[in-house]
Amino acid sequence: MKSIAKCLFQIIPVCGLVISALTGCGGNKNADDVVITVKDPGDKEFPVSDYFQVDKRVYVSAEDGYYLALVTDAYVTDNYAFLYDTQQRISKVDLSTGKIVSQLDRRGRGPEEYLMAMGIAGDDKYIYLMENNSGRIIHAYDYDFKHQYKFSIDWPTMPSTFISLGNGFLFQNSSENDSIGKFVFTDNQGHITKSFLELQEKEPEPDSNGDIVMLVVVHTEELFIPDSKGNILCYNPDTDEAYLYDGKSMKKQFRIKMDDGMPNQPTPMINKVFAPDGKILVNYSYTKRGAYNRYGNFAIFDKDYNLVAEGTGGLREGEAPFLPMLQKGNQLITVDNTDDAVGAVLPDRSIQAQIVFHSLK
């Protein structure tokens, strides 16, 4: 979703692939054998203010007829935030004023329109919108929302989230449940350049139903792609494993183990993983009988994977809950929708959302 040079981190909501910039994590441990554990913290609260500070707060105003539905995805540059909401709109927000300067809302069947958007990504030139139609289509728009081009993604990948590498894209292959085959690289036209999935042709054979099988998918152990910059931590929610892409190869870094807090209780679910300043922040859900925690739980680990703090979420930093949506450099960014009534947050202003930049103390 983001330019690797800027180490931008983007996430799809619950159960999606987590992709993050990561440097210096793990110390001298053999990362392939590292397991970090998260568990039900009970009534313990995660001490947000002890570890994170607010660097910047932006109030998003409703002006010129622009409004925000629930924001589910975002891409942030130095000057603008592009917010994708549940009405399949992208709002361009000026971070210096909080004003929505323009919106992309182009649903339809035209060549520059989309029927069912899934999420967005971005780089130094374009905003990319993923469309879930008969296949997977990516639309490229410039920062003024002028349509530039579109392309379909090669089979066999069924992406649910993606990140722009500048010279191509990295996708989660949602049709694969194991680690191998989860991460697929394409060029800027959607052609697969490297994947853990490789196609091996063989003589057609009938299967148990008598149908002809034309090819077999085989797994390989390593993935390489040239000419990329920076590091990306790729988290696979199906296996709870994290891999580091260093611009050349994909290497396993750690696995997250989730302990049940009581017998017969459902296993908790990892929502998102972040790596601010080389540390690891895990946001996970743990359903409690008769209770619901909107923000889930948090656990933070140091660079050697040692637990630093854990607790239930939902604490608020000022007026916005601490529930990071994405990472930019070492900053974690929250986007919290607010009451759109005039004066609900600030006098005489209709505030649609708050964008807050957090960093480790």
pLDDT mean for each 10 residues of the chain (361 residues) = 34 41 52 82 87 94 83 93 93 95 86 84 93 80 95 76 85 63 82 61 53 37 32 78 77 82 62 87 74 77 93 69 87 83 56 92 93
Helix (H, G, I), strand (E, B) or coil at 33: helix
Tell me the backbone φ, ψ of residue 263, rounded to 5 degrees: -60, 145
Q: What is the DSSP letter of 55?
A: E
- Provide the residue type at 119 as one letter: G
Count helices and strands (H / E) in the chain: 1, 30
Q: What is the CATH number of domain 4-360?
A: 2.120.10.30
pLDDT tens digits, 115-140: 888 889 999 999 999 887 656 889 99
Contact by Cβ (8 Å): 141, 126:
yes
How would DSSP label each residue in 255-288?
EEEEE-SSTTPPPPEEEEEE-GGG-EEEEEE--B
User: Which pLDDT belongs to residue 343?
Assistant: 47
Q: What is the DSSP letter of 4?
A: G
- Provide the residue type at 207 as one letter: D
Contact by Cβ (8 Å): 195, 186:
no
CA–CA gap between residue 287 and residue 14 (Å, rounded): 14
CA–CA gap between residue 129 and residue 300 (Å, rounded): 32
What tokens appear for 63 in the block? 């002006």
71-15-153-22 Cα dihedral, nearest 10 degrees: 90
Distances (CA, A) of 143 to 50, 104, 162: 37, 10, 19
CA angle 122, 123, 128 (to 5 degrees): 30
Residue ranges of domains in the chain: 4-360
Which of 91, 88, 42 shows the shortest CA–CA distance to 65? 91
What tokens appear for 325 in the block? 């949506």
Q: Which residues of 28-61 are buried (b: 16+ CB within 10 A; e: fewer)?
A: eeebeebebebbbbeeeebebeebbebeebbbbb
User: Which pLDDT belongs to residue 269?
Assistant: 79
- Provide the residue type at 148 as one letter: Q
CA–CA gap between residue 125 and residue 156 (Å, rounded): 28
CA–CA gap between residue 2 and residue 22 (Å, rounded): 14
Give the up-direction half-sphere exposure of residue 92: CA atoms within 13 A in the CB hemisphere. Answer: 16
